[in-house]
Amino acid sequence: MKLSEAVAKRIMEYCEERKITPNKLCTMSGVIQSTVNSIFSGRSSNPKLGTIECLCEGLGITLKDFFDSPLFDNIEN
């Protein structure tokens, strides 16, 4: 799995877990909707760490929490 795919799946996991929409997450984190849409659609092949950090802040988690998932165990280049 590519990094961008793992990031998108991880964001979706958190949204589903917390019963929020990606749009609501954008509001909570201050990340614009088009950025999150680009991550989900694969147009953003290398999401910026700063963007992921903002999403984490909106979710009330750390970057460590975000990346602590089997999704990131076998990332392809």
pLDDT in tens, 10-23: 999 999 999 999 99
Q: What is the pLDDT of residue 77?
A: 72
Q: How many CA atoms lie within 13 A of 9 on its CB side?
A: 13
Residues 22-77 have pLDDT tens digits of: 999 999 999 999 999 999 998 988 899 999 999 999 999 999 999 999 999 989 87
- The count of other CB atoms within 10 Å of the CB of residue 19 is 7
For position 46, what pLDDT does the model report? 87
List of residues 6+ apart from 55 with CB closer than 8 A:
11, 25, 29, 31, 36, 66
Could you tell me the domains of the chain?
3-72 (1.10.260.40)
